[in-house]
Structure 1
Amino acid sequence: MKPFANPAVKEAFQAFPPDMRRKLLALRERVFRTAAATPGVGELEETLKWGEPAYVTRSGSGSTIRLGWKKARPGEYALYFNCRTTLVSSFRALYPRDFRFEGNRALVFMPDEELPQEALASCITMALSYRLQRKAARARG
């Protein structure tokens, strides 16, 4: 497991229920591995946004990804994306049967389900390279 550089993020993970913490730590590892394997993304900054672990590209290549669990919905956890992007609508078009979606902001998971790792990595890649892709599209005209 990648060590925590930010003690506040480590504390946020410690506050999750143990079963959800394991799932969210696995998502955290997936985010870091995907960032390392995605050209143009570079290093991630791990911070807190709205009290939740958040991942921001230092290069400015992408959109923030957050990991979350809510007391109001204790039987699920999620990957959150900026709701002002087209990311979740793109995920929904590409993977309509692979994920549960929350509006235009999240992929929602149940703790007992097997995550579709390839589709998940694709969604994370799209988020981490969102601004790069938009710049490339504008350059093409």
Structure 2
Amino acid sequence: MNRLLAFGLLFVLVGCQDNEHAGPSEEREIEPIQTDRVIDQHGEIENLELFQQFLKETAENKQTSLEMTRYTIEGAPIYWKVGFQEGQYNIEVDNREDNFGSKNIESYQCDELSKDVTGSLTDYNFKSCEGGFEINLLSVISE
């Protein structure tokens, strides 16, 4: 399915090179492949209830996991797997389908997932990570 999506994207890009005779373009929406993961398409979040369940279980110190797909501006999927066990988060970020990324799977360990609220924006950030940096997991706009 991913190869078909990549081939389709390549086909669209090649077709857009000669736009002398092209008519009006339509913006194509990316449809999520799975419904058992959180999908973040430029701030539009699907299956947010899965994320809320993950937060509840981590607050109760239960072993749990979360799968998420975040799309880049160009439309490439970045796959996230987050596991929580004994107070520690194990994070795997797969950006092999991102033409502008490092094209590998990166792993991190963090001790904290914070909730930072600024106005109507709530950022969920991993803190106390190996290397001393923070990682943004998800940003949610409340209405």
Common fold by TM > 0.5: no
> Shorter chain as normaliser: what TM range?
0.3 to 0.5
Per residue, is there more strand in 1 or in 2? 2
- More helix as a share of residues: 1
Normalized against structure 1, the TM-score is what? 0.32
Structure ID, larger Rg: 2
